[in-house]
Structure 1
Amino acid sequence: MPSTTKDLASPTEMKLTSAMNGEIDTDTDNGKVKMKKHMGLLEGVAIILGIIFGSGIFISPKGIIEETNSVGLSLVVWVLCGLLSMIGALCYAELGTSIPKSGGDYAYINEAFGALPSFLYLWAANIIFVPTTNAIMGLTFAKYVIQPFFPQCTMPDFGVRLVAACIICFLSFLNGFNVKATVRLQNVFMFCKIGALVLIIIIGVVWMSFGNVDHFQNSFADSTTNPGKIAKAFYSGIFTYSGWNYLNFMTEELKNPFVNLPRAIFISLPLVTGIYVLANMAYLSALTPDELLSSDAIAVTFGNAILGKFAAILPIMVAISAFGGLSVHIMTSSRMLYVGARNGHFPVMLGHLNIKNLTPLPSLIFLINQLLYVRNSS
């Protein structure tokens, strides 16, 4: 990864050099420089699915059934949460086409409410929320990678943290070295995640075709009528669907965003909703609600109940999913920091680009502070 100052240039300094090479677009009205548009519709869909399909659906999608107390109502909540997420995503599609700037939430807050609220949001996000999220995702990946080596004993904390730190550094390096390689890698992980979930769904369908549908008998019996518990169920569901706004963090790098941004959302959210509902039906076909609630890694428990010796494939799926989600989060969050620095809300150095690779290298290096959260985690 280039590290010398001659490899870094501010947007203004890069305007003449890069525009002559046709690598980036220039806005003749205000003289700003935009990074190269290297993402099409497929890449946009991969960004959205990559962050929504994290490790959560494989590990512990039990918050909804814990609050609803019934299989039938829990599946209804999953569907309604998908519809609510679609509404939110459509609002962001409108924002992304009306304000075609990278930075996502930060850019829209800055445009609507001014400098101070966006400044406060940017600092809170990049000092607390972004690094802690990356650290959690890195640790989740590390635990599932190391787990097969310690089947009968406790995993060493130092080993988990070391693997998490290495994978965060690797993905940060890859994002800084070659955006195209990162995007292509994300496409691969998108298909892997979908394939893993489709595999779970197929196993569940086959299992139910053998007559194992007892858990769906009287599926609405004992459903809660407590408004508070229903609200908490919706909160858990909406949280599981979170991530549909991450493509808006990279709007300036999306080809024809006025077309591809809405299309990516129209494709992604219905697909996510259908897969989530069917995956939960597959889980519930093999496990009782009590077994689901007692499991901390539902996909692994599901595999042990049905696949036997082939159940070892499911922890690998969880690790792949966490890896892909971490890659997306590092890529998109660095863009928010870059845009904020470009607007003068962070040190101006973080608003520079690597002149060879057209990547926000200083922003990626700054976000390595997430390793402190990995080191200090318990």
Structure 2
Amino acid sequence: MTDGPRQRGSAAPSTSEDAAADTGNAAGQSSVALKKEIGLVSACGIIVGNIIGSGIFVSPKGVLENASSVGLALIVWIVTGVITAIGALCYAELGVTIPKSGGDYSYVKDIFGGLAGFLRLWIAVLVIYPTNQAVIALTFSNYVLQPLFPTCFPPENGLRILAAICLLLLTWVNCASVRWATRVQDVFTAGKLLALILIIIMGIVQICKGEYYWLEPANAFEPFQDYDIGLIALAFLQGSFAYGGWNFLNYVTEELVDPYVNLPRAIFISIPLVTFVYVFANIAYVTAMSPQELLASNAVAVTFGEKLLGVMSWIMPISVALSTFGGVNGSLFTSSRLFFGCT
């Protein structure tokens, strides 16, 4: 049956001609869009992978130094996790209200106008993301080369070349395939979580051996310097640095499968998981090191490994390297959507 009578003398277009016409019309009427390829597991990997970078391996020193006691430092880690969760949920509301790729740029542009969005975009492209990715890549190369130079600092040229290779390799992966990039993120997120779980397990073993002096309430809140409200505020700032990256999933909202469900669900899963890991990793640190030993270390996880792992202590610098490698990938993957959002 036909939809209606055709005009006499006109030929009916063929099926292939109909398809070609429909394709042409669709191409003219629709804009470029990103495929929805990111599921819940990859969404959690993006959040966890971007939050857990080098921060948890180096920030405990700054938090403890400014908190002035072990007990208050642990409270700082818990409270900053709660604050991060609240901020992430507010950001999720923005993400489902304005379901566009680009995160900050899209929100600033839609709410405050084109000029504000333009300025936010160019600050990001010229300053924020290049410097952030360069620092993380240099941290990666430093920890990769550290086992090869145990008694001295790695050569500067070697650090820079390896950092450049890291950035170029991950840029190529992200250009080649979204699926490859998310797989890299999933694998390295799992790797860094396993490293932190290893630290937590060793901490539990230490507690079973009776090494929990600094966790007893009478000792945990014993200050090694006078409490100062300004320093405590700085401790919260140090803790917040380690939780940085919680907003990156909003940069890829357009690529999420069912973002109205998976965006808040990924936050509900990821932020409590990261908070749990951070708090218990810090508990593990103080089972093996006194506050004075922890403050004397520039790489807490490496010192922790040297004290408890013996000949296997090389696991810690490699774990930090894997963590930062995943951090570079996550930063490249999400920040590129910021620039896509301006097209």
Normalising by structure 2, what TM-score? 0.90
Equivalent residue for 1:273?
275
Match of 1:321 among 319, 323, 327: 323
The separation in 2 between residues aligned to 1:238 and 1:65, in whole angstroms, is 13
Equivalent residue for 2:231?
229
Q: What SS does structure 2 have at the residue aligned with 1:33?
A: coil
Deviation at 1:154, TM superposition (A): 2.5
Deviation at 1:182, TM superposition (A): 1.1
Letter in 1 for 2:110: E
Structure 2 residues not aligned, in runs of 5+: 1-18
The separation in 2 between residues aligned to 1:225 and 1:160, in whole angstroms, is 39
Match of 1:332 among 307, 316, 334: 334
Letter in 2 for 1:106: Y
CA separation of 1:224/1:68 partners in 2, compared to 1, >3 Å: closer, same or farther? farther
Return the index of the structure with the highest Cα Rg.
Answer: 2
Equivalent residue for 1:359?
none
The separation in 2 between residues aligned to 1:161 and 1:242, in whole angstroms, is 24
Count of equivalent residues? 319
Equivalent pair of 2:302/2:317 in contact (CA under 8 Å): yes
* Higher relative contact order (CA closer than 8 Å, sequence separation 6+): 2
Equivalent residue for 1:8?
none
Any idea what the Cα deviations from partners look like across 1:303-325, whole Å, max 9, x if unmatched? 11111111111111000000001
Any idea what the Cα deviations from partners look like across 1:197-256, whole Å, max 9, x if unmatched? 111000011011100112224211227542211111111111111111000001111111
Match of 2:312 among 278, 298, 310: 310
Structure 1 residues not aligned, in runs of 5+: 1-15, 21-25, 343-378
Normalising by structure 1, what TM-score? 0.81
Equivalent pair of 1:82/1:241 in contact (CA under 8 Å): yes
Any idea what the Cα deviations from partners look like across 1:161-192, whole Å, max 9, x if unmatched? 00000110000011001111111111111111
Equivalent residue for 1:191?
190
Equivalent residue for 2:159?
160
Q: Aligned runs of 1:262-301 on 2, under 5 Å?
A: 262-301=264-303
Any idea what the Cα deviations from partners look like across 1:61-117, whole Å, max 9, x if unmatched? 212111111000110111000000000000011000100001111111111100111
Instruction: Give the RMSD, CA atoms, in angstroms.
Output: 1.8
Equivalent pair of 1:60/1:295 in contact (CA under 8 Å): no
Letter in 1 for 2:62: G
The separation in 1 between residues aligned to 2:226 and 2:276, in whole angstroms, is 24
The separation in 2 between residues aligned to 1:288 and 1:268, in whole angstroms, is 30
The separation in 2 between residues aligned to 1:102 and 1:149, in whole angstroms, is 41
Letter in 2 for 1:102: S
Question: Matched residues, percent identical?
Answer: 49
Deviation at 1:155, TM superposition (A): 1.0
Deviation at 1:31, TM superposition (A): 2.9
Q: Aligned runs of 1:115-194 on 2, under 5 Å?
A: 115-194=114-193
Equivalent residue for 2:65?
66
The separation in 2 between residues aligned to 1:332 and 1:27, in whole angstroms, is 27
Letter in 1 for 2:257: K
The separation in 2 between residues aligned to 1:224 and 1:109, in whole angstroms, is 42
